Amino acid sequence: MKKIILYIVLACCALPKAHAQIGFTDMVELTGVIMSSDSLRYLPYVSITLAGTDRGVVSNRKGVFSIIAPKGSNLEFSCMGYKKKQYTIPDSLTQPRYSVIQLMSQDTFYLPTTIIRPVMSREEFERAFVKWDIPPDQIEMARRNTEVNTIRALALILPRDGNEHLDYYQAQAVKRSSWAGGQPPMTIFNPLNWAEFFKSWKRGDYKRQR
């Protein structure tokens, strides 16, 4: 009876180990170092992630990393100031552990030109404040675009949209219906119309548009 109990206990202890070995047959442990391709200097704090997932590791101060990943998966190396690199783990690996050396090349980017000037004196600042042409900001541009003269000038050159045409047509229809069956009124002798005509003439509304 003691032998049977001992056999059952040993079988239960060996079962998780066998299951673990079966589950990790397609996994491989990669240990390596990341270096720059131009100077062969180790790169610290490089992110190594499995493509398509949020899992990964970061290299230490010496550029050394270690990660466990399935065979055939893609590893992505990313570091500030260097171009991203991808490495595909071969499916034909037979050993559970391998070492790699990953080289990364610098990524060249250009910053806008920065002009550094000395601090101006009080007289120079006052002269520059008066004479410098400072470009308008968004608030100033909005104020200029909503001025009455600007809106009037835009109304003369911009075509009407669909809503404006519909409003104009409906206003004309209502106006015609008010004197339907009779003669339309003669507005040539209306002093208010003549006053509006002179105002439009002085504003230049009837000038030829180029």
Per residue of the chain (210 residues), give pLDDT as tens.
544 444 444 444 444 444 444 456 788 899 999 999 888 888 999 999 998 888 899 999 999 999 999 988 999 999 988 999 999 998 888 888 888 999 999 887 777 888 887 887 888 888 888 888 878 888 888 888 888 888 888 888 888 788 888 888 888 888 778 777 777 767 777 777 788 888 888 877 777 554
Do the domain assignments include residue 14? no
| H-helix or E-strand spanning residue 32 | strand 27-36
Do the domain assignments include residue 88? yes
Indicate the pTM of the whole model. Answer: 0.43
pLDDT of residue 11: 45
Integer Cα distance of 89 and 67 in angstroms = 12
* C-alpha pair distances (Å), 45 with each of 69, 77, 88, 108, 164: 19, 10, 21, 20, 62
pLDDT of residue 129: 81
Do the domain assignments include residue 41? yes
pLDDT of residue 75: 92
Domain count along the chain: 1
pLDDT of residue 22: 40
Q: What single-letter DSSP state applies at residue 158?
A: S
Do the domain assignments include residue 45? yes
Task: Provide the residue range defining the domain that includes 95.
Answer: 24-104
Instruction: Give the CATH number, domain containing residue 78.
Output: 2.60.40.1120
The answer to whether 77 and 86 have CB atoms below 8 angstroms apart is yes
Do the domain assignments include residue 33? yes
The answer to whether 27 and 69 have CB atoms below 8 angstroms apart is yes
Integer Cα distance of 68 and 50 in angstroms = 10
